[in-house]
Amino acid sequence: MQILIPISFFVVSATSFLPYNLFMNAHEYFYFKLHNTSIFNGTDFKPIAEETVLQRKFEGYLSLFGGVACIIGAAVNLLLTTHFRVYAGHALVLLSLIPTIFYTYTDTDDYQQDFFNISLILASLASFGSIGLIGGGIMGLVSGFPSHNLKAVLFGQSAAGICATVLSIVCQITTSDLIWNGRIYFLIATCWTLMSILFYRYVSIKSKTPYDSDSDSEDDTNALIRSDSDPDLNAVRTVSDKDLYMRTLSKSKYSLACLMLTLTITLSAFPGVASLVKSVSHSEAWIGYFSSICCFLAFNVGDGCGRALSGMKKMGTKWLTIFCLLRCVFIPLIIICNIHPRYHTPTLLPYDGVFLLVILLFGITHGHTFSIAVDNITGSVDPECGEVSGSIINLASVLSAFIGSFIGIGLVTLL
């Protein structure tokens, strides 16, 4: 039953990115909840020409607040045991989903600003628990397993985005009532999170990592007692931990910089800017699915393909850096697509097909460079630094994602 180990890593890794993708891909539901109440009342929502201020700000602020929560989670991550991180992370995800489901039963038209603020808090709590705690915990745990399990973790992260988008589309097809759409969406997410706990329980039992701090052996217990009572031993342990971090940073600094550059560029344009691109079609059906398919699904499918291609050929740090820098061209390409409303810049590429191609390539290059950077980092460090490298990757990822989200909000303001 060894196949269950990579499957478990896949499921738990998907859970580490699922909540963020859920809140981001429930685009139509949140847009309905934040609609202009002066000209619309009901549940059969159709996109209108002018977005409200809250609608326009939602994706950008979601990325920004989620990024702050992830940074805090990644920092706290370093102080907690692996199993506590992951179990606590699952608990926080569930605590954020339950009130979100409650709001699908509540009319929020009279307090949209409060709903906007509370939704950001719940999304941030989910990001703190998932990317901040579960993500860091699973990256640390996988270091004690054969290397093919790392691929399962990386594909799980990509699959979270694909599954969230497909789920959003299926909910749209199933019912035109966007309240039911959101309700089904978050109920399924709750069931997935509960299933993820069971899979993590299985993989934690199979864990052979020497860094597992939950060991119950008498020798380990005695060692802990001695170290707590002996300040000299505590000093040695602290120096040892610092040494591991410094060695890891020294050996992986260039690949780590590429990883951060990749995420910063991606989050600068996606989803805050890219989600504002509108279809030029006159078909109401296509307009309703345009954002889900051409923005979110295209990017996540491209991301998955890029991660799959990363295993075909290794790329040195020099070429990886050049490739990462070249990805900057996608930001202006997305900006000149049919973003609406825009106030200060022109639309130069008002074509649905061109936008789809740009987003697909953006996703492929993101997945490709991110996976190669992670492989280079984990492959360059000593075996005893495996868990440390996982924590550093997680912290670097959330820091760069926050920077990218902040840039994205600035770009939306300038459009």
Question: Mind listing the domains of the chain with CATH numbers?
Answer: 4-208+244-414 (1.20.1250.20)
| Global model pTM greater than 0.85 | no
Tokens describing residue 85 = 């991180």
**226, 41 in Cβ contact below 8 A?**
no
Question: What is the number of alpha carbons within 13 Å of residue 50 lying toward its C-beta?
Answer: 8
**Residues 6 or more apart from 77 whose CB is under 8 A from it?**
85, 132, 133, 136, 137, 391, 394, 395
CA separation, residue 188 to residues 101, 164, 253 (Å):
11, 10, 40
Question: What is the pLDDT at residue 377?
Answer: 87
Tokens describing residue 170 = 């299926």
**399, 264 in Cβ contact below 8 A?**
no
Question: What is the pLDDT at residue 343?
Answer: 81
In single-letter form, the type of residue at position 26 comes to A
Angle, vertex CA 335, rays to CA 116 and CA 364, nearest 5? 90
End-to-end CA distance of the chain: 53
**d(C-alpha 367, C-alpha 301), whole Å:** 10
Coil, strand, or helix at residue 52?
A: coil
pLDDT digits (tens, 9 = 90+) for 376-387: 888 887 766 767
Residue 85 Cα to chain centre, angstroms: 17
Question: What is the pLDDT at residue 227?
Answer: 39
Question: What is the pLDDT at residue 240?
Answer: 61
**d(C-alpha 413, C-alpha 29), whole Å:** 23
Q: What burial class does residue 279 get, using C-beta atoms within 10 Å of its C-beta: 0-12 exposed, 13-18 middle, 19+ buried?
A: buried
**322, 312 in Cβ contact below 8 A?**
no
pLDDT along the chain (415 residues), means of 10: 85 88 80 77 50 80 83 81 88 94 90 92 91 84 78 87 84 80 86 93 72 41 40 46 77 91 94 90 87 91 91 82 95 93 87 96 96 87 73 85 87 84
Q: Which secondary-structure segment (H or E) carries 377? A: helix 352-380
* One-character DSSP codes across 98-134: HHHHHHTTS--GGGHHHHHHHHHHHHHHHHIIIIIII
pLDDT digits (tens, 9 = 90+) for 77-99: 777 887 888 999 999 999 999 99
- Give, as one character, the DSSP assignment of residue 393: H
